[in-house]
Amino acid sequence: MNKYVSTRNKNISVSASAAVLSGQASDGGLFVPEDIENLKLDYHEVISSGDFKEMAKVIWNHFFDDYGRDVIAELVERSYTGKFSSDKLTPLVKVGDDYVLELYHGPTSAFKDVALSALPNLLTKARDMNEVTDTILILTATSGDTGSAAMAGFSGVPGTGIVVFYPEGGTSETQRLQMVTDAGSNTAACAIRGNFDDAQNGVKKIFREIDHPSEGVSLSSANSINIGRLVPQIVYYYSAYKQLLDMGEIADGDKVDFVVPTGNFGDIMAGYFAYRMGLPIRQLICASNKNDVLTEFLNSGHYNRKREFFKTTSPSMDILISSNLERLLYYVCGEENTAKYMKQLEAQGEYTISSSELAEIKGIFTGLCASDDEGRAAIRKTFEEEHYLMDTHTSIAWSCLGKYKKKDGVPKVVLSTASPYKFCSSVLEALGLELTGSDKTDMEACYEYTKAPIPKGLAGIWERPVLHSDVIDPSDMKQYVIDKSAQK
Ligand SMILES: *Cc1c(COP(=O)(O)O)cnc(C)c1O
**Cβ atoms within 10 Å, residue 469:** 9
Q: Is 260 in the pocket of ligand 1 (CB under 6 A)?
A: no
Asked if the structure places residue 313 within a domain, the reply is: yes
- DSSP-assigned beta bridge partners for residue 288: 369
- Side-chain-facing half-sphere of 421: CA atoms under 13 Å: 27
Q: Is 145 in the pocket of ligand 1 (CB under 6 A)?
A: yes
Q: Which atom of ligand 1 is nearest to the CA of 391?
A: 13
Gyration radius of the chain over CA positions: 21
| Most distant CA pair in the chain, distance | 62
Q: Is 116 in the pocket of ligand 1 (CB under 6 A)?
A: no
pLDDT, residue 223, reads: 79
Which residue in 411, 92, 104, 80 sits closest to 246, CA to CA? 92
Distance CA 32, CA 342 (A): 16
Q: Are 7 and 338 in contact (CB under 8 A)?
A: yes
d(CA 251, ligand 1 centre) in Å: 30
DSSP annotation string for 96-124: TTEEEEE---STTSBTHHHHHTTHHHHHH
Q: Are 348 and 328 in contact (CB under 8 A)?
A: no
Q: Which residues, including other chains, have CB under 8 Å from residue 134's CB and lie 6 or more apart? A: 127, 212, 216, 217, 218
Asked if the structure places residue 438 within a domain, the reply is: yes
Asked if the structure places residue 62 within a domain, the reply is: no
CATH number assigned to the domain comprising residue 333:
3.40.50.1100
Ligand 1 probe mutation, 148, 258, 393, most atoms within 8 A of CB: 393
Give the count of domains, the chain. Answer: 1
pLDDT, residue 59, reads: 98
Distance CA 414, CA 92 (A): 9
Q: Is 112 in the pocket of ligand 1 (CB under 6 A)?
A: yes
DSSP-derived 3-state class of residue 429: helix
Asked if the structure places residue 425 within a domain, the reply is: yes
pLDDT, residue 32, reads: 97
Q: Is 263 in the pocket of ligand 1 (CB under 6 A)?
A: yes
Instruction: State the catalytic residues.
Output: 112
**Cβ atoms within 10 Å, residue 185:** 7
What residues make up the domain containing 446?
A: 92-108+228-453
Ligand 1 probe mutation, 100, 145, 196, 328, most atoms within 8 A of CB: 145
Asked if the structure places residue 141 within a domain, the reply is: no
Asked if the structure places residue 315 within a domain, the reply is: yes
Which residue in 183, 34, 60, 185 sits closest to 115, CA to CA? 60
Asked if the structure places residue 126 within a domain, the reply is: no
d(CA 144, ligand 1 centre) in Å: 11
**Cβ atoms within 10 Å, residue 445:** 18
Question: Which parts of the chain sit beneath pLDDT 50?
Answer: none
Which residue in 462, 480, 458, 463 sits closest to 190, CA to CA? 480
Pairing between β-strand 135-141 and β-strand 217-220 as defined by DSSP bridges = parallel
Which residue in 135, 150, 133, 145 sits closest to 188, CA to CA? 150
pLDDT, residue 383, reads: 98
Ligand 1 probe mutation, 226, 267, 295, most atoms within 8 A of CB: 267
Q: Are 375 and 327 in contact (CB under 8 A)?
A: no
Asked if the structure places residue 354 within a domain, the reply is: yes
Distance CA 204, CA 330 (A): 25
Distance CA 199, CA 192 (A): 6
Q: pLDDT digit string (tens) for 299-324?
A: 999 999 999 999 999 999 998 989 99
Query: In this structure, which residue's CA is closest to atom 15 in ligand 1?
Result: 316
pLDDT, residue 488, reads: 61
- Side-chain-facing half-sphere of 21: CA atoms under 13 Å: 22
Q: pLDDT digit string (tens) for 145-193?
A: 889 999 999 999 999 999 999 999 888 889 999 999 999 999 999 999 9
